[in-house]
Amino acid sequence: MYERNASHIESLVRDQNDWRGGCINLIASENVTSRRVRGIMGSDFAHRYAEGHPGERYYQGTEIIDEIESDLKQHMKSLFRCKHADVRPISGTIANDAVFSRYIRPGDIVMVNSTPAGGHISHHKAGSVGKYTRNIVNFPLTPDGWHIDVDHTLDLLKSFDPRVMIMGKSLFLFPEPVKELAPYCRKKGIHLLYDAAHVLGLVAGGQFQDPLAEGAAIVTGSTHKTFYGSQRGVILSNLDDEEWRKIDKGAFPGSSSNHHLETLVALTFATYEMLEFGAEYARQVVNNAKHFARKLFDSGFKVQGEQFGFTETHQVAIDMSDLGGGESAARNLKDNRIIVNMNLLPFEPLDHATSASGIRLGVQEMTRVGMKEPEMERIAELFKRCLMDKKFVGDEVKEFRAKFQEVGYSFD
């Protein structure tokens, strides 16, 4: 009776594949996996369970996934030069929750980046941190809005000691002051956590700050943004073994049971690709973002962070308040086959979240399909014609995108 419905779903999937293949995707939290990574998904592992650690499972028949998971952990530790890696979280937010559940107690004070300053929702009252405490204090910002004010932060800390500091952002243009605040955190016993969800691939490729080397106690991340794997999460640390056991329990059974073996296998393959091509890829991502930002600025857009070189990551932020706001810009671009998201900008009221003045752009996916500086110039031109000149450029976008269908920095 429902076969027609099932066939319709298959048709919708084909439509999605075709449509996205004809778009310029600049969503900063997305990427594409290689053909070979996609090819190993949908295997028998999609049907299976593996609770616990390799060699210590609660199920039988896990010998092969034990080998794969052990291999992934070892290569993650090598890639990020760390002592411990937990690869069981099924998303970056789940990785965050696994850590927060171990270190945040009811009533604890936690310092975070505010939502307008770029902080992720899992860091706030509506998200994971809010499940454990309501005492959440925002880091003070420098007047430019793009950096934590270290001196002001240290002054604030004279009147209270948070149990946890959470650095890292969702709108993330510049490094965080890990080196500057880590010594104080160690002295006072404050747990300094760093959410590298957006920049994990840039850290792996050596093109962004190394938060563990700079003094962060724990790093969490998503594996599908600048790190171009399947959609999962990871926790990294150099904690001593006893302290790491808290994280271990937070990951299992604290935040997961089975941990989606199909995407674990895919992530293992993608991690080999990152080890092989990550440095070259990350370098091109940052170069593309800087070049794109400059060309947008030269075209008359209010690109943020000009005085600091616009960006040090994959992201570019634009204030669209003079051109109808972020929501209008994002909608117009989508109608022209360019996909972005609206975003609050620093110091913007939180209640403007559904009418944010900014848009956030990420170049990591288009970099992976082969685009470089000349293509960034072309996309900036398309932005101008679409948003300033009010021209329809959707057909040009589709024609342009058709030339970039192969996934690079891979074993394909």
Cα gap 198→183, rounded to integer Å: 25
In this predicted model, which residue has the larger pLDDT, 325 or 355? 325
Q: Which of 240, 271, 302 is the last residue of a domain?
A: 271
Helices (H), 189-325: 200-204, 211-214, 241-251, 261-298
The confidence score (pLDDT) of residue 235 equals: 98
DSSP 145-195: SSSB-HHHHHHHTTT---SEEEE--SS--S---HHHHHHHHHHHT-EEEEE
Q: Is the pLDDT of residue 44 over 90?
A: yes
| Contact assessment for residue 255 and residue 97, using Cβ atoms and an 8 Å cutoff | yes
Question: Distance between CA atoms of 342 and 118, rounded to whole angstroms?
Answer: 12
Q: How many domains does the chain have?
A: 2
In a domain, 18, yes or no: no
The answer to whether residue 193 sits within a structural domain is yes
Q: What are phi and psi of 352, to 5 degrees?
A: -95, 10
The reply to whether 244 and 287 lie within a common domain is: no
Tens of pLDDT, residues 86-99: 999 999 999 999 99
Is residue 391 very low, low, confident or very high in pLDDT (cuts 50, 70, 90)? very high
Range of the domain at 89: 38-271
Crossing angle of the two packed helices 394-401 and 373-383, in degrees rounded to 10: 170
Percentage of the residues of the chain whose pLDDT score is greater than 90: 94
Q: Which residues pair with 317 in a beta bridge?
A: 360
Q: Is residue 13 exposed (0-12), middle (13-18) or buried (19+ Cβ within 10 Å)? A: exposed
pLDDT at 355: 86
Does residue 63 sit in the same domain as residue 182? yes
Same domain for 137 and 98: yes
pLDDT in the model for residue 196: 98
Whole-angstrom Cα distance, residue 357 to residue 394?
23
The residue to which tokens 């808290």 are assigned: 246
Q: Which range has the worst mean pLDDT, 55-59, 268-272, 277-281, 376-380?
A: 55-59
Which of 271, 287, 306 is the C-terminal boundary of a domain? 271
pLDDT in tens, 106-133: 999 999 999 999 999 999 888 899 999 9
Specify the length of the chain in residues: 412
Asked whether residue 242 is domain-assigned, the answer is: yes
Q: Which of 252, 271, 290 is the endpoint of a domain?
A: 271
Average per-residue pLDDT for the chain: 96
Laid out side by side, the sheet with 233-237 consists of 84-86, 233-237, 218-222, 191-195, 164-167, 109-112, 135-138
Residue 1 has pLDDT above 80, yes or no: no
Q: Provide the pLDDT confidence category of residue 356 given band limits of 50, 70 and 90.
A: very high
Q: How far apart are CA 201 and CA 175, in angstroms?
A: 14
Q: Are residues 96 and 195 in the same domain?
A: yes
Reference 361, options 328, 389, 339, 329; nearest CA is: 339
Please tell me the predicted confidence (pLDDT) of residue 351: 82
Residues 327-339, mean pLDDT to the nearest whole number:
98
Contacts of 293 (CB under 8 A, 6+ apart): 303, 305, 310, 311, 316
Q: Output the domain CATH number for residue 315.
A: 3.90.1150.10
Ramachandran angles phi, psi of 330, nearest 5°: -65, -40
Q: Are residues 249 and 327 in the same domain?
A: no
178-232 pLDDT, tens digit per residue, is 999 999 999 999 999 999 999 999 999 999 999 999 999 999 999 999 999 999 9
Nearest alpha carbon to residue 136 among 127, 146, 147? 127
Q: Can you give the pLDDT at residue 125?
A: 87
Q: What is the pLDDT of residues 156-171, one digit of tens each?
A: 999 999 999 999 999 9
pLDDT of residue 34: 98
Other C-beta atoms closer than 10 Å to the C-beta of 12 total 10
Which residues, other chains included, contact 335 with Cβ-Cβ below 8 Å and sequence gap of 6+?
394
For residue range 396-411, what is the model confidence (pLDDT) as tens digits?
999 999 999 999 999 9
- Per DSSP, helices labelled H in 86-128 are 92-103
Dig out the tokens for 393 from the structure.
């450029």
Q: Which residue has the tokens 């570019």?
A: 316
Q: Is the pLDDT of residue 287 over 80?
A: yes
The span from the CA of 368 to the CA of 33, in Å, is 9
Same domain, 202 and 302: no
Long-range contacts of 208-212 (CB under 8 A, 24+ apart): 208/175, 208/282, 208/286, 208/312, 208/313, 209/175, 209/176, 209/178, 210/81, 211/167, 211/168, 211/176, 211/178, 212/80, 212/81, 212/82, 212/236, 212/237, 212/238
Query: What Rg, from alpha-carbon coordinates, does the chain have?
Result: 21
Alpha helices in 88-129 (DSSP H): 92-103
> Could you tell me the pTM of the whole model?
0.96
Residue 259, pLDDT > 80, answer yes
- Per-residue pLDDT, averaged over 304-324, amounts to 97
